[in-house]
Amino acid sequence: MSISTLTKVCHTNDIPKNEMRCIALAEKNVLVANTSEGIFVADEMCTHEDARLCDGNLSGTYVKCPLHGSRFDLATGKVLDDPANTDLVVYDVSVIDDNIYIR
Ligand code: FES
């Protein structure tokens, strides 16, 4: 894959292990999580209402919404709890020279 088809998100050092950050990109804001299972990137907003998931809690690959508590699996985007009922958009991630990219 050509690097020109990728969008740089941040450097791996920007996201400490077992933490997550919201990152503003030119076209959207994304959540980046550095988990024990790897690095995951998803849309930053909960699919239920207007809450930034990076303000919630990260446990393994699960992120818990700070507003009503729905959890999402960042590895798949699957919603795990009510009240959200729409999966989260997650992105294919590539790490090249310690930089995190999405397709
Ligand atoms: S805003 Fe996230 S569960 Fe309601």
Say yes or no to pLDDT of 89 above 60: yes
Distance from the alpha carbon of residue 9 to the mean position of ligand 1, in angstroms: 25
In short, whether 52's Cβ falls inside 6 Å of ligand 1 is: no
In angstroms, the CA 7 to CA 77 distance is: 20
pLDDT at 30: 98
pLDDT at 57: 98
CA angle 28, 84, 34 (to 5 degrees): 50
Number of domains in the chain: 1
Cα distance from N-terminal residue to C-terminal residue, the chain:
10
Average pLDDT over residues 84-101: 97
Query: Global pTM?
Result: 0.94
Look up residue 48 and give its two tokens: 């239920």
Domain that holds residue 95: 3-102
Share of the chain above pLDDT 90, in %: 93
Look up residue 102 and give its two tokens: 């999405």
In angstroms, the CA 29 to CA 65 distance is: 16
Say yes or no to pLDDT of 1 above 60: no
Task: List the CATH number of the domain containing 43.
Answer: 2.102.10.10
